[in-house]
Amino acid sequence: MEKVNLKKLLINFAKIFISIALLYFVFQKIPFREVTVLWAKTNVFYLVMAAILFLASQIISTKRLELYFKANNFHLSFRSNLELYFLGMFYNFFIPGGVGGDAYKVYLLNKNFGWSAKKITSSLFNDRLSGLLAICVLILIFSFNLLEAKFFPILFVLLLVGFFFTYFLTKKLFSTYTKVFFKAFSYSFLVQILQVISFIFLLKSLDVTDNFTIYAVVFLASSVLSLISFAGIGVREMLFLQASKWFSFQPEISVSASLLFTMITAFFSLFGVIFQIRKLNLKLTETP
């Protein structure tokens, strides 16, 4: 157990190091003072709208996880699920190197209700997998607007193969979730759409008026690559910096918007402090 914890600790600190290193490189190219100057001119209306859409995406994410819990006959109330979700966000964002948000959920649910830790973990894993699938599908969809028509058949085949491969993989390895697969994916798709629109509003708050498709693709790609860094910090900014070399947008604006998105994430993650200070009173719904 000590070796496992040490390995996890080292991985988390490696992610933090990667985030710091990437941000250092980005700010060598784009002085932070340029970012603060842009922030001072931010359109507050679009900033607030971006925050609202991000919050909506998190609430829908909670409903998606609820589907996987119910597939295992785990009937946690929506309020308890939402509080647990924000608590997990807090652990993931503000306690690097400590207990991860998902691990803490497994611990609390197992402790309070005696639910199988293995089943809770599989629910959380499939919840993440559904989100990843939605990101990949959206990247392919947006790519139709970026590539020449001759590539459309390839994109279409990749989209179908990726989607149904994930479905049949779920059916084979996690048959419990087969019935909720498509509904969970629809939630995941909506979650990612809301986050993309949220990011576009952040760009509009900085007076960006075009190239939203490529911004969306880079933003979604950064969500996939966020696994190698701490909370995606650094990776997103680096991708936008590099993408600006091939596409016609200003890197300082995209990096500024990216950091604003991180700040919004941090702000809502702080909601978890409330539930950390106030002991959670997890409740179940009546079994249908």
Which of 63-67, 155-159, 169-173, 233-237 is predicted least confidently?
A: 233-237
> How far apart, in whole angstroms, are the C-alpha atoms of residue 158 and residue 152?
10
Q: Provide mean pLDDT across the span 78-82.
A: 91
pLDDT value of position 65: 95
Q: Provide mean pLDDT across the span 98-120.
A: 86
Q: Provide mean pLDDT across the span 163-170.
A: 95
Q: With b meaning 16 or more CB within 10 Å and e meaning fewer, what string describes 91-108?
A: bbbeebeeebbbbbbbeb
> How far apart, in whole angstroms, are the C-alpha atoms of residue 112 and residue 107?
9
Which of 40-44, 100-104, 113-117, 219-223 is predicted least confidently?
A: 100-104
pLDDT value of position 4: 47
pLDDT value of position 182: 97
pLDDT value of position 282: 85
**Percentage of the chain lying above the pLDDT 70 cut:** 94
Higher pLDDT, 231 or 150: 150
Q: Tokens 């709208």 belong to which residue?
A: 49
| 284 DSSP β-pair partners | 76
Reading the block at residue 184, the tokens are 């969970």
pLDDT value of position 5: 59
What is the Cα Rg of the chain in Å?
20
Reading the block at residue 84, the tokens are 């647990």
Q: Which amino acid is at 257?
A: A
Q: What is the 3-state secondary structure (H, E, C) of the chain?
A: CHHHHHHHHHHHHHHHHHHHHHHHHHHHHCCHHHHHHHHHCCCHHHHHHHHHHHHHHHHHHHHHHHHHHHHCCCCECHHHHHHHHHHHHHHHHHCCCCCCHHHHHHHHHHHHHCCCHHHHHHHHHHHHHHHHHHHHHHHHHHHCCCCCHHHHHHHHHHHHHHHHHHHHHHHHHCHHHHHHHHHHHHHHHHHHHHHHHHHHHHHHHCCCCCCHHHHHHHHHHHHHHHHHCCCCCCHHHHHHHHHCCCCCCCHHHHHHHHHHHHHHHHHHHCHHHHHHHCCCCCCECCCC
pLDDT tens-digit map of 14-34: 878 888 898 889 988 888 899
284 touches 77 (CB < 8 A): yes
* Residue 75 Ramachandran class (φ > 0 left, ψ -120 to 50 alpha, else beta): beta
Q: Which amino acid is at 28?
A: Q
> How far apart, in whole angstroms, are the C-alpha atoms of residue 109 and residue 172?
26
Reading the block at residue 86, the tokens are 């924000």
